[in-house]
Amino acid sequence: MGVLPWSCRCGLNPSPSKSRGAPARPPPATRGRRSKYTGQSVRVMPMRVLTVGKKRSQGTQLLLEEYKEKLGHYCDVEDTLIKSNPKLTSDVKVQIEAEDASMMQQLKAEDFVVVLDENGKDLISEQIADLIGDAGNTGSSRLTFCIGGPYGLGEQVRERADATIRLSSLVLNHQVALIVLMEQLYRAWTIIKGQKYHH
């Protein structure tokens, strides 16, 4: 059987025993389950998630509340919904610029800004824990995550980013991205605290 066309690009092969390429990630048994901050005291900064969008679905809101409560055991968490397409324009460029300006208004100089983008840096969960710990050492006073609307984030926010990360190589709906991010932030804190959630 020939190698599937996508296997060389992503490093995965449907039949690992016949694979010639390196796997995209190390197998779980060899992956570290700890962050460099596991078991250490980390400066706790409030977290905020900025999302561009319209009214959230009930399901998203329920899950969001659940993760806000879980995360709230470790740090203050705030979520802010930025109105999508405030100018009600049909020009995509104008829409992105208006959403970009609204998001920039929310960002303060003392924010450590993490932009979520499907082309961002690929992190494993332990590295999200590292990111939280590292951000606490920068002198920033708040950790802010930015999720774009249907056409993504604008130039100003992208340039303001202290880090740009991705949650998957797939493009996610902004509500899905929000929930995945919240779960990963909760997971990251359990990694820092050495708790049993992550194994």
Ligand X SMILES: C[S@@+](CC[C@H](N)C(=O)[O-])C[C@H]1O[C@@H](n2cnc3c(N)ncnc32)[C@H](O)[C@@H]1O
- Site residues for ligand X per CB under 6 A: 116-118, 147-148, 150-153, 166-168, 170-174, 177
The residues with which 121 forms a beta bridge, in sequence order, are: 165
Shortest CB 171 distance to ligand X, Å:
5
Shortest CB 53 distance to ligand X, Å:
8
- Could you give the 3-state DSSP secondary structure of residue 158? helix
Shortest CB 181 distance to ligand X, Å:
8
Which CB, 38 or 99, lies closer to ligand X?
Answer: 99
Rounded-to-integer distance, Cα 190 and Cα 129, Å:
9
Which CB, 167 or 179, lies closer to ligand X?
Answer: 167
Which CB, 42 or 49, lies closer to ligand X?
Answer: 49
Shortest CB 66 distance to ligand X, Å:
20
Nearest Cα neighbor of 24 from 127, 164, 169 is 169
CB 35 within 8 A of CB 126: yes
Rounded-to-integer distance, Cα 148 and Cα 115, Å:
9
Which CB, 117 or 126, lies closer to ligand X?
Answer: 117
Rounded-to-integer distance, Cα 42 and Cα 40, Å:
6
Rounded-to-integer distance, Cα 153 and Cα 115, Å:
8
Rounded-to-integer distance, Cα 174 and Cα 115, Å:
13
Shortest CB 169 distance to ligand X, Å:
7
Which CB, 102 or 151, lies closer to ligand X?
Answer: 151
